[in-house]
Structure 1
Amino acid sequence: MKVTVVRSGGFAGIEQRGQSDSATDPMLTRLVDRVDLASVPPPGRRPDQFLYEIDIDGDTATVGEAQLNGPLRELVHHVLGQGR
């Protein structure tokens, strides 16, 4: 399973990208199992907020930073940390 996260927006508009694969990242499967992309609310319109585009094996969702919490936050931070 592959997970890609792209963070965009914010005041400076700098994009950050991370990708992880369960073949080389054993923790990824545990994190993904706790996330339901279908239940993610649409991002609200807030000036200068970060937007996170999350792709889990072709299933995608865009999340505003205000909606990024719990298991979804853990997943995003984990994947973005892999991209460094």
Structure 2
Amino acid sequence: MDVIVSRSGGIAGMRLTWEVRVDEQPDPDEWYILIDEIPWGETPPLPPEPDRFVYDIRCEPHEATLAERQLTGPWRQLVDRVQETTDPKRRGPRESPPQRPRR
């Protein structure tokens, strides 16, 4: 299972993307527990905020887009853990992250 976090927005509009293969981590069971705790269908409502970061979080079959202030609880834990596990790939403001083939 892959977890992909992309952060876009901010003043420069640069997109950073982190990707972690859960099954290759030393503690995959902890990753799966955290992913199961995510309320995928219940992202907190929040009006758009100009020049703030927006996070796209993908973990097949789930996907969510959250503003920086919406990253609380298990959302924040997952994003922090992904960012601590791997280095980001940088993309320009108009480039999209690569799409993984569906299995």
Matches of 1:5 and 1:12, distance apart in 2: 18
User: What does residue 83 of structure 1 align with?
Assistant: 86
Match of 1:60 in 2: 63
Percent sequence identity is 36
Structure 2 portions without partners, runs of 5+? 88-103
Shift of 1:42: 4.6
Q: Say which SS state the counterpart of residue 30 (structure 1) adopts.
A: helix
1:47 match:
50
Which amino acid counterpart does residue 21 of structure 1 have in structure 2? R
What is residue 4 of structure 2 aligned with on the other side? 4
Q: Hey, which bits of structure 1, 4+ residues long, moved more than 6 A?
A: none
SS of the equivalent of 1:52 reads strand
Tell me the CA shift for residue 47 of structure 1. Answer: 1.3
TM-score normalized with structure 2 length: 0.72
Name the structure 1 match of 2:34.
31
Q: Give the length in aligned residue pairs.
A: 84
Segments of structure 1 that go 5 or more residues without pairing to the other structure are none
Which structure has the greater CA radius of gyration? 2
| 1:1-32 deviation digits (Å, cap 9, x = unpaired) | 21111000011212111111221122321221
